[in-house]
Every structure is written in C-alpha cells, then in structure tokens.
Amino acid sequence: MIRNFLIALVLPFIKLLSMIFYDKKYLLGRWYTDSNQGWKWVLTGIWYQKILGFNREIPFPICPFTIVSNYNNIHFHPDNLDNFQSPGCYLQCSRAHIYIGHGTYIAPNVGIITANHDPYNLDKYLEAKDVIIGDNCWIGMNSVILPGVTIGNQTIVAAGSVVSKSFVNGKCIVGGVPASLIKEL
C-alpha cells in the first residue's frame, strides 16, 4: 500500500521529466500503459544517460551498458523498448539500418552488425548492409547477427549463435556457428 502511494506521488514528476529528456514517441506502448516498468527505465535513464552521460544522445531510455552506434538507423516499435535494457548488447548501425520487428526479444550480450572490416585493410569497412529481424523473434544470449541477414517472423536464434545467412521464411529455430536450421516450428 505504501509502495502504491509512493508510485502515485512520484509518477507525475517522472512523466514530466521524461518529456524533457526523451522523444515522446518512445514513451508509448505496453511498458508505459500496462505497467510502471517504462517509468522506472526513464528514471534510471535520466541518471545514467542525461546526468552521467552514458548514451546521452539517444532519445529513449537505454541501459548504460548497451551500445548503439547510430540511433537514427535503428527502427523498432515502442513495445520493444525492453530490448534496449539488456546489458552488453552492441547494435552497430552507423552505415546501414537495423529493423527490429514487433514482439521481438533480444537477450543480453547480443551483437547486431551492419558492416565488417575489410580483411585486406582493417582500417576500411566492407559495404554495409541492413539487418532485418521479423516480428515475434527471440535472439538468444551471446548471439551475433552479421550484415545483410534477414530473420523471418517467429524465428528463434539459439544462444551463442553466429547468424551469417538469412532465414527469411521464419517459423524456425536456428543455431550454431555458423547458424543453420535446427527445427521448423
């Protein structure tokens, strides 16, 4: 009862601060309407992002231990804001785009890469390619998704996998290094 009273007392203040520090289009969806979890992320994000400076330029609450190289090139639904609360994720999209489908879950320590180094000159990059992850996917912990990969709807990527080719049909489980089809769903 005391907890609910404190939340009711503090929540209007957190909502006001959120409008100052974050783009309001990210403050929608299930994390803000179905629970107070989103507002907790806002409060934590204000401290880590806006005061301490971790991911300061990113216009939505994000874990201080997640790296997004160019937030303008990442596309997701506000219901998927939880994917940016996992520590250790690396979303490298400075030269191409990353699309994350609605209802997709991304576990901690996942890398999504849109450009690799040129093996003949490590100071240069190969051509960047978009990464597309469909709706209702699950990307397991410590997985890496490489440039140009498309993962179809309802695909599960097993933990520790390196996805170097597309699985556009979806509805499957893929895993391994390099990832291959384990099972169709």
Domain boundaries, the chain: 1-64, 66-178
Peptide bond into 178 cis (omega under 30): yes
According to CATH, the superfamily of the domain at 66-178 is: Hexapeptide repeat proteins (2.160.10.10)
Residue from 75, 77, 102, 117 carrying the catalytic annotation: 117
- pTM, two decimals, is 0.90
CA 95 – CA 83 distance, rounded (Å): 21
Residue bearing the bigger pLDDT, 155 or 31:
155
Quick one: pLDDT band at residue 6, thresholds 50, 70, 90?
A: low
**pLDDT of 132:** 98
pLDDT of the residue at 4: 65
What's the rounded Cα separation, in Å, for the pair 25 and 91? 20
Encode pLDDT of 68-80 as tens digits. 999 999 999 999 9
Known catalytic membership, residue 97: no
Residue pair 88/66 in contact (Cβ under 8 Å)? The answer is yes
